[in-house]
Homo-oligomer: A and B are copies of this chain.
């Protein structure tokens, strides 16, 4: 191609940065392989044979194809295109992630987005392979060198109950009081389901003053380096945070669920925060994707978007205002 375009072996060689010898050899080898002379060459002029003209046309077509394809592939590095398949825990995904994904899909019209929600989010590299997933969102580390984990944000769990339940059963003043309460327990996701951990209380001076005389020596609550773990008596169990929230709203008891599950109820007053000065163990949301030299643009875009989105929407982050008691 270059020889024909240049009209001369010598010029083509200098354009290609090769010696004339190589160019001559390459053309000769190609002719030998095809078994047909492609160029009629006399010392001064160069011209295509019939086969040469046909072959040149073919080569140019193939090169155009290759070029356009490489451009297409390079574009996937420049902008998010194609399909993005995300796997996420069902409850978290249903309630809050769906909004984020919808917003993301709207912002990326050239990207098809698929959100797969399951209760058992990740079963190994199988998901990235056969299932064709690009990204898995989960709360526990994979402990595998073949994946990359990136923190998206922290999800805070909140302790809450309905006002009428609290009016009926009394408002707990410290975590240890929870042992006496009807607790609605989220199972299968948090480790040690029946043990709730808290940190705090915040404003320790005030809290200690306020509760010094009221709270008896803690029973069944073991403090450990500023955190307290209390074994609760479950009255109702579910692996779905929304179900627990509904149960709590119905006055069934006190529940510890991710904030996203009860955000609406808290805003509406159907549920109120219990022990606001204590912070339940928060869990970081991880974005997990296969370890590769380069992260696909679409994955990067989604991770970035989700980080920003979670920060902006303040999911799981404790609101500045303290719920009025």
Q: Is the CB of A40 within 8 A of B290?
A: yes
Q: Is the CB of A129 within 8 A of B76?
A: no
Chain A stretch 46-105: residues in CB contact (< 8 A) with chain B: 46-47, 49-51, 54-55, 58, 61-62, 65-66, 69-70, 72-74, 76-77, 82-83
Q: Is the CB of A47 within 8 A of B132?
A: yes
- Closest Cβ of chain B to A180, distance in Å, is 49
Residues of B within 8 A of A65 (CB): 58, 61-62, 65
* Bound complex: CA A6 to CA B155 (Å): 44
Q: Is the CB of A34 within 8 A of B70?
A: yes
Contact flags A95-128 to B (C-beta < 8 A → 1, else 0): 0000000000000000000000000000011101
Whether, in the assembled complex, A146 has its beta carbon less than 8 Å from a beta carbon of chain B, the answer is yes
Copies in the complex: 2
Q: Is the CB of A45 within 8 A of B76?
A: no
Whether, in the assembled complex, A312 has its beta carbon less than 8 Å from a beta carbon of chain B, the answer is no
Whether, in the assembled complex, A293 has its beta carbon less than 8 Å from a beta carbon of chain B, the answer is yes
Residues of B within 8 A of A49 (CB): 132, 296
Whether, in the assembled complex, A325 has its beta carbon less than 8 Å from a beta carbon of chain B, the answer is no
Contact of A31 among B76, B126, B293 (CB under 8 A): B293
Whether, in the assembled complex, A167 has its beta carbon less than 8 Å from a beta carbon of chain B, the answer is no
Residue of B nearest to A55 (CB): B73
Q: Is the CB of B55 within 8 A of A69?
A: yes
Q: Is the CB of B62 within 8 A of A294?
A: no
* Bound complex: CA A286 to CA B205 (Å): 116
Q: Is the CB of A36 within 8 A of B128?
A: no
Whether, in the assembled complex, A37 has its beta carbon less than 8 Å from a beta carbon of chain B, the answer is yes
* Bound complex: CA A45 to CA B130 (Å): 8
Whether, in the assembled complex, A32 has its beta carbon less than 8 Å from a beta carbon of chain B, the answer is yes
Contact of A42 among B35, B46, B125, B294 (CB under 8 A): B125
- Complex A-B: 13 CB contacts under 8 Å: A34-B74, A35-B77, A40-B128, A42-B128, A45-B126, A45-B129, A45-B130, A47-B130, A50-B82, A51-B296, A58-B69, A62-B62, A62-B66
